[in-house]
């Protein structure tokens, strides 16, 4: 079967005029190995070189202007290979001095009495333009938009432009979309789009070309997601779960609190999945403290009622211990809850594994220790993975494969923006808990500058005096000359002097796991009043007595990370506080501080975080599961993403996608699926 491409050609890069061994190596370093790669190597941005009226330009603008040269240019040489070219021009009735540095050859193009177009930085007060280049005369009104490509040292923009221009004459460009879809959304042909993206003449043309290419990318990606979802459901056919509904309702009635409406809805969605004749593949997301664990516990109880085992995998040993204790309390000793972490060894581990395989353990809670080869279940029906983005694809897959009829529930306290949930998580169902339990007090968040730290520590002390505990978070482990930020060791030593060494503990990522767990346990048991830490506490510690948090250099963190850190307090009926200590030097840093003090809604904050940082930084590019779109931007093109999803869903679900007219597109999507690992 011939591999499907968007672009077809029998020619190679080596055939291009000007491409030798050195330039070929530079192209390869940009991941350009074929003419298809080169033609699809699109500009990262465009410089608008439209001629402007100098009277309307602002001081400091880079402008393209046209005027008459009224003084002969002079060149002064100084230092080694350094020069300054000066001439005067009359531009829009303004007498302007033009200077070019280290471009003496431009003297020939600046002839007195002639009209020329120059580009440079306008210094209004001095009436000077520091020139960048003298513009060449252009045909058909001029190409005002200049494409800018990402380059390697040794490769010039002009050079790459020539290679691409040659390539466009040597390739055939195919279409991904059907004529009906192109007509419906008034899209251009890709044969016209790609040349325009490389050499736009008018902004309107570029806008339409980018819109068309973006829709193509998003539609292809959503087709992949929808087909994956269909394949997953077809290959995951199992017998629906049979359980005693009344017994499960009785268990819910025994809970020490009433479920919120959001929790009830989440339980209903999960149980619909469990009763269906296909494996569950659902993401349960909710803010810190929204009650995800209780929802998971109800699903675990239904499994127990149906005679099946469950497993809960979490990122840290201390979190595993806390989950095991809280589940045991919720089940009131009715279910056999076991804990498996790397610290469970020898005979104890051997007995536990034997009980698990014999079906004597109903729910096992653990870390990555659960995915070891010797961990076997008698009849596992449900796998729950908490903070799933902290585990690798293979780790999650290993646990899911412990049983043939395994339903999977992913949980996260990092609310995923809607944009990402229909793209990165497009192949799984998403349930959101957006309501907090009754009686939970909102964390009071404030922002203080570094010179106000004494006041902050006085407030911290007032909580310690009441018998409460506090977290102090720092971004760095050790001092860094490159960064003007507080480091965790220095802060730890300062707080020991202020509050007493016995009251202050320290944890950071470089500590040995056993040492870290010991400190965390002592903090959990209120043997330590103040825990100084890096972001290792971001996920997973439940210390209801902790009511105060200080985050040093808070402007160095994203909104989602700050919100996760803040969620370590506010876990009891006591009022909790979070103080952000920061003296931000950027507008975005100031904006993040304002946003954090104004909102405690994790879903709102995740949307703002995505807007400010972009999808690649939200999870990290590799973790996000998002392809590296050439033109499309899932934040800016969100409405288009939804349309592409709906069209892809209709095409797959109606069966049209599997008819002969879509053979080429289907093969293209299939190859894309085979090339990428999806979990």
The CATH classification of domain 245-433, taken from the options 3.40.50.300, 3.30.70.360, 3.40.30.10, 3.40.190.10? 3.40.50.300
As a 3-state breakdown, the chain gives helix, strand, coil percent values, each rounded to 5, of: 45, 20, 35
Model pLDDT for residues 472-502, shown as the tens digit of each residue: 998 865 554 344 456 888 899 999 999 999 9
Give the residue with greater pLDDT, 226 vs 64: 64
pLDDT of 500-555, one tens digit each?
A: 999 999 988 778 878 888 888 899 899 999 999 887 665 556 889 999 999 999 99
Mean pLDDT of 230-252: 84
Confidence at residue 257, expressed as pLDDT on a 0 to 100 scale: 85
Please indicate whether residue 158 or residue 539 has the higher confidence score (pLDDT).
158
Domain boundaries 7-46+152-202, corresponding CATH code: 1.10.150
Return mean pLDDT, the chain. Answer: 86
- Give residue 195's pLDDT band: very low, low, confident or very high (50, 70, 90): very high
Q: Does the structure show a pLDDT above 70 at 619?
A: no
Q: How confident is the model at residue 423 (pLDDT cuts 50, 70, 90)?
A: low
pLDDT band at 140 (very low <50, low <70, confident <90, very high): very low
Res 677: pLDDT: 44
Q: For residues 488, 491, 493 and 498, what is the CA-based torsion angle, rounded to 10 degrees?
A: -150
pLDDT of residue 455: 95
pLDDT tens-digit readout, 44-78: 988 888 899 999 999 999 999 999 999 999 999 98
Q: Where are any strands of DSSP class E within 534-679?
A: 546-552, 577-581
DSSP letter assigned to residue 237: B
Q: pLDDT tens across 248-258, in order?
A: 999 999 998 89
Across 380-394, 428-442, 627-641, least confident range = 380-394
* CATH 2.40.50.140-classified regions of the chain: 50-135
Between 436 and 301, whose confidence is greater? 301
Which residue did the predictor score with more confidence, 395 or 582?
Answer: 582
Minimum mean pLDDT range among 9-13, 121-125, 443-447, 608-612: 608-612
**What are the beta bridge partners of residue 98?**
87, 129
pLDDT at 558 over 90: no
Give percent of the chain above pLDDT 70: 88
Tokens of 304: 């127990």
What pLDDT is attached to residue 236?
66
The pLDDT assigned to 2 comes to 43
Residue 319 host element (H or E): helix 317-331
CATH assignment, 50-135: 2.40.50.140
pTM of the model: 0.68
Which has more confidence, 618 or 14?
A: 14
CB within 8 Å of 10: residues ≥ 6 apart:
none
CATH 3.40.50.300 residue spans of the chain: 245-433, 443-599
Domain 443-599 is in which class? alpha beta
- Percent of the chain topping pLDDT 90: 52
Contacts 24+ apart (CB under 8 A), 4-8: 4/664, 4/667, 4/668, 4/671, 5/36, 5/174, 6/36, 6/40, 6/173, 6/174, 6/176, 6/190, 6/668, 7/35, 7/36, 7/39, 7/40, 7/171, 7/172, 7/173, 7/174, 8/171, 8/172, 8/174
**What's the whole-number mean pLDDT along residues 578-591?**
92
- Give tens-digit pLDDT for 307-365: 999 999 888 887 888 899 989 999 998 999 999 988 888 999 999 999 999 999 999 99
User: With b meaning 16 or more CB within 10 Å and e meaning fewer, what string describes 14-41?
Assistant: eebeebeeebbebbeebebebbbbbbbb
Residues in Cβ contact with 72 at an 8 Å cutoff, skipping those fewer than 6 apart: 87, 112
Indicate if the pLDDT at residue 678 is higher than 50: no
pLDDT over 70 (residue 388): no
């Amino acid at each position: 079967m011939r591999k499907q491409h968007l672009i077809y050609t029998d020619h190679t890069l080596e055939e291009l005029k000007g491409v030798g061994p050195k330039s070929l190596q530079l192209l390869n370093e940009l991941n350009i190995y074929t003419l298809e790669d080169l033609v699809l190597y699109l500009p990262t941005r465009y410089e608008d070189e439209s001629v402007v009226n100098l009277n309307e330009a602002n001081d400091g603008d880079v402008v393209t202007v046209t005027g008459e040269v009224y003084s002969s240019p002079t060149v002064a040489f100084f230092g080694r290979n350094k020069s300054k070219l000066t001439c005067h021009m009359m531009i829009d009735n303004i007498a302007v001095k033009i200077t070019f540095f280290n471009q003496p050859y431009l003297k020939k193009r600046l002839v007195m009495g002639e009209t020329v177009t120059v580009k440079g930085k306008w210094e209004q007060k001095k009436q000077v333009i520091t020139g960048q280049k003298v513009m060449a005369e252009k045909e058909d009104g001029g190409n005002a938009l200049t494409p800018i490509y990402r380059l390697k040292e040794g490769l010039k923009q002009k050079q790459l432009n020539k290679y691409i221009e040659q390539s466009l004459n040597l390739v055939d460009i195919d279409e991904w979309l059907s004529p009906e879809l192109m007509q419906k959304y008034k899209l251009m042909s890709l044969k016209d789009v790609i040349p325009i993206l490389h050499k736009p003449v008018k902004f309107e043309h570029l806008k339409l070309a980018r819109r068309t290419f973006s829709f193509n990318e998003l539609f292809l990606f959503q087709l992949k997601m929808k087909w994956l979802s269909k394949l997953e459901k077809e290959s995951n056919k199992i017998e629906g779960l049979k359980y005693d509904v009344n017994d499960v309702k009785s268990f819910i009635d025994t809970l020490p609190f009433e479920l919120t409406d959001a929790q009830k809805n989440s339980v209903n969605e999960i149980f619909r999945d469990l009763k269906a004749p296909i494996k569950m593949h659902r993401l349960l997301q909710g803010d810190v403290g929204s009650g995800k664990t209780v929802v998971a516990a109800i699903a675990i109880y239904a499994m127990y009622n149906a005679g099946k085992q469950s497993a809960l995998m979490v990122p840290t040993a201390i979190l595993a211990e806390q989950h095991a204790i809280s589940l045991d309390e919720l089940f009131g000793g009715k279910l056999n809850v076991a804990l498996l972490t790397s610290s469970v060894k020898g005979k104890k581990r051997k007995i536990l594994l034997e009980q698990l395989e014999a079906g004597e353990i109903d729910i096992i809670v653990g870390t990555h220790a659960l995915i070891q080869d010797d961990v076997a279940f008698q009849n596992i029906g449900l796998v729950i993975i908490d903070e799933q983005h902290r585990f690798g694809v293979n780790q999650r897959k290993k646990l899911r494969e412990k049983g043939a009829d395994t339903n999977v529930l992913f949980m996260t306290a990092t609310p995923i923006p809607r944009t990402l949930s229909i793209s990165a998580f497009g192949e799984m169902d998403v349930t959101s808990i957006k309501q907090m339990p009754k009686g939970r007090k909102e964390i009071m968040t404030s922002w203080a500058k570094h010179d106000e730290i004494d006041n902050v520590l006085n407030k911290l002390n007032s909580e310690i005096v009441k018998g409460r505990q506090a977290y102090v978070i720092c971004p760095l482990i050790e001092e860094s000359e490159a960064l003007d930020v507080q480091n965790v060791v220095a802060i730890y030593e300062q707080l020991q002097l202020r509050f007493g060494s016995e009251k202050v503990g320290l944890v950071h990522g470089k500590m040995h796991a056993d040492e870290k767990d010991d400190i965390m346990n002592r903090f959990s048991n209120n043997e330590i009043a103040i825990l100084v830490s890096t972001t290792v506490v971001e996920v997973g510690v439940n210390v209801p007595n902790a009511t105060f948090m200080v985050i040093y250099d808070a402007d160095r963190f994203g909104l989602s990370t700050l919100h996760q850190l803040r969620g370590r307090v506010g876990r009891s009926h006591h009022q909790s506080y979070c103080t952000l200590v920061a003296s931000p030097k950027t507008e975005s840093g100031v904006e993040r501080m304002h946003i954090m003090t104004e909102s405690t809604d994790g879903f709102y904050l995740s949307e703002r975080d995505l807007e400010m940082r972009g999808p690649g930084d939200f999870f990290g590019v590799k973790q996000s599961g998002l392809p590296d779109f050439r033109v499309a931007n899932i934040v800016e093109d969100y409405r288009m993403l939804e349309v592409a999803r709906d069209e892809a869903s209709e095409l797959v679900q109606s069966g049209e996608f599997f008819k002969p007219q879509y053979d080429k597109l289907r093969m293209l999507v299939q190859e894309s699926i085979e090339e990428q690992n999806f979990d």
